[in-house]
Amino acid sequence: MAVFEPSHLLNRLPEQFFATLTRKVQKLQKEGVTLINLGQGNPDRAAPAPIVEKMQEAAADPANHKYSPFRGYASLKQAAAAFYKKEYDVDLDPETEIAILFGSKAGLVELSQCLLNEGDTALLPDPGYPDYLSGIALAKAESAFMPLLEKNGFLPDYTAISEETWKKAKALFLNYPNNPTAAGADPAFFEDTVKYAEKHHVCVIHDFAYGALGFDGVKPPSFLQTPGAKETGVELYTLSKTYNMAGWRVAVAAGNASVIESLNLLQDHMYVSIFGAVQEAAAFAFTSDQTEVHEQAVIYEKRRDVFLEELEKGGIKASPSAGTFFVWLAVPKGWTSAAYAEMLLEKARIVTAPGSGFGSKGEGYIRISLLESEEQLQEAARRIAEQTKALHSV
Mean pLDDT per 10-residue run, the chain (394 residues)?
88 76 79 88 93 97 95 97 98 98 96 95 96 93 97 97 96 98 98 98 98 97 98 97 96 98 95 95 97 96 97 92 97 93 92 94 97 97 92 65
Please count the structural domains in the chain: 2
Tell me, yes or no, whether 73 lies in a domain: yes
Query: Is the domain of 232 the same as that of 297?
Result: no
- Give the residue from 287, 316, 350 where a domain finishes: 287
- pLDDT at position 34 is 87
- pLDDT at position 1 is 87
pTM for the model stands at 0.95
Query: Is the domain of 166 the same as that of 122?
Result: yes
For the domain that residue 333 is a member of, what is the CATH number?
3.90.1150.10
- Give the residue from 240, 259, 287 where a domain finishes: 287
- pLDDT at position 17 is 67
Tell me, yes or no, whether 161 lies in a domain: yes
Query: Is the domain of 31 the same as that of 53?
Result: no
Query: Is the domain of 198 the same as that of 101?
Result: yes
The residue range of the domain holding 279 is 49-287
Could you give the CA distance from residue 81 to residue 91 in angstroms, rounded to a whole number?
A: 7
Could you give the CA distance from residue 240 to residue 244 in angstroms, rounded to a whole number?
A: 5
Query: Is the domain of 315 the same as that of 373?
Result: yes
Query: Is the domain of 150 the same as that of 295?
Result: no
**Chain centroid to CA 112: how far?**
16
Q: Which positions ≥6 away from 356 have C-beta within 8 Å?
A: 336, 337, 338, 362, 363
For the domain that residue 78 is a member of, what is the CATH number?
3.40.640.10
